């Protein structure tokens, strides 16, 4: 695989993960004035820093805390690790019936 991994390709993987877990793509919840009131538990998102990218998962609904699922790495490494994560989710869903 020699193609360049783009941000859009990574975002598509995140959308797939969020759909598998039945959570929306929006990480935060908002009030009627569009002020952030909390986060969506188990919603995954990308984190960009220092030319690298990581996969984060929101940990609770009260605040905006997150858990680093896959640490900062290159886009290609993250893409491959996210595919392995998706495969593991498929297996868990298949064995359990739902996640």
pLDDT tens readout for residues 33-61: 766 666 677 888 899 999 999 999 887 65
- Asked if 41 contacts 47 with a C-beta cutoff of 8 angstroms, the reply is no
7: CB partners within 8 A, 6+ apart: 46, 53, 75
Domain boundaries, the chain: 7-96
- Please tell me the pTM assigned to this model: 0.81
Percentage above 70 pLDDT, the chain: 79
Helix (H) or strand (E) holding 72: strand 66-73
CA 53/CA 31 separation, integer angstroms: 29
Please report the pLDDT score of residue 71 as a whole number: 96
pLDDT band per the 50, 70, 90 thresholds, residue 5:
very high
């Amino acid at each position: 695989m020699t193609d360049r991994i783009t941000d859009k390709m990574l975002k598509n993987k995140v959308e797939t993960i969020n759909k598998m877990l039945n959570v929306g793509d929006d990480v935060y919840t908002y009030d009627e004035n569009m002020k952030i009131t909390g986060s969506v538990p188990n919603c995954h998102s990308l984190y960009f820093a220092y030319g690298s990218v990581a996969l984060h998962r929101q940990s609770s609904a009260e605040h905006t805390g997150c858990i680093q699922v896959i640490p900062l790495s290159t886009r290609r490494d993250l893409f491959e690790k996210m595919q392995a994560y998706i495969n593991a989710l498929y297996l868990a869903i298949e064995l359990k019936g739902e996640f």
